[in-house]
């Protein structure tokens, strides 16, 4: 029977390393991506509010546009009363400033809901990792004093 314990330990360690930690990594990457999208929409909202507060919508707007890698070119916007906003899947829609603000509010609310769901999924995966680690500790007969290194793995 002692031959099966090392096999089970190996199977649990494999499950932990190849499945649970990979799931956790993917969820964290997805969460970072969503937080990045929320930040971009909030930045756009701030720009729109500044343009509205300075009343540039009635005249030509001179600005700089980032074309990538922090390289900027000057741009003239003849009609700043409308803006193109990415609505997803590479599609852009022309909005009036007020419409764009309403869209951004709805979009960020939906993205924040997705972030909350992913946060719950991350907590579940971390709980599963802790459960497997505790099971491994019991199977190997490791005392609770060595529990601290397992906590470091979850951070």
In a domain, 124, yes or no: yes
Q: Evaluate whether residue 65 is within a structural domain.
A: no
**Residue at 29 is within a domain:** yes
The pair phi, psi for residue 49, each rounded to 5°, is -65, -35
Q: Are 134 and 121 spatial neighbours (Cβ–Cβ below 8 Å)?
A: no
pLDDT, position 121: 96
Domain assignment of residue 148, yes or no: yes
pTM above 0.85, yes or no: no
Listed residue (136, 138, 99) closest to 15, CA to CA: 136
Distances (CA, A) of 81 to 40, 58, 95: 20, 7, 9
17 found inside a domain: yes
pLDDT at 31: 97
Q: Of residues 150 and 17, which shows the higher confidence score?
A: 17
Identify whether 109 is part of a domain: yes
- The burial of 12, by beta-carbon neighbours within 10 Å (0-12 exposed, 13-18 middle, 19 or more buried), is given as middle
Q: What is the pLDDT of residue 1?
A: 45
The answer to whether residue 142 scores a pLDDT higher than 90 is no
Q: Is residue 114 part of a domain?
A: yes
pLDDT tens digit string along 74-85?
988 888 888 999
Q: Model confidence over 101-132: pLDDT tens digits?
A: 999 999 999 999 999 999 999 999 999 999 98
Question: Which residues form the domain of 118?
Answer: 4-56+96-154
- Would you say residue 132 lies in a domain? yes
pLDDT tens for residues 9-60? 888 888 888 999 999 999 999 999 999 999 999 999 998 998 888 876 667 7
Could you give the number of structural domains in the chain? Answer: 1
């Amino acid at each position: 029977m002692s031959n099966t314990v090392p096999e089970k330990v190996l199977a649990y360690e494999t499950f932990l390393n190849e499945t649970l930690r990979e799931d956790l990594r993917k969820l964290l990457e997805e969460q970072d991506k969503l937080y990045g999208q929320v930040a971009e929409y909030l930045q756009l909202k701030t720009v729109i509010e500044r343009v509205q507060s300075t009343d540039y919508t009635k005249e030509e707007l001179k600005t700089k546009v980032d074309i990538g890698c922090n390289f900027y070119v000057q741009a003239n916007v003849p009609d700043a009363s409308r803006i193109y906003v990415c609505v997803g899947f590479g599609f852009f829609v022309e909005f009036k400033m007020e419409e764009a603000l309403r869209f951004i509010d709805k979009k960020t609310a939906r993205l924040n809901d997705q972030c909350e769901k992913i946060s719950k999924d991350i907590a579940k995966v971390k709980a599963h990792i802790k459960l497997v680690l505790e099971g491994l500790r019991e199977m190997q007969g490791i005392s609770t004093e060595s529990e601290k290194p397992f906590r470091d793995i979850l951070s």
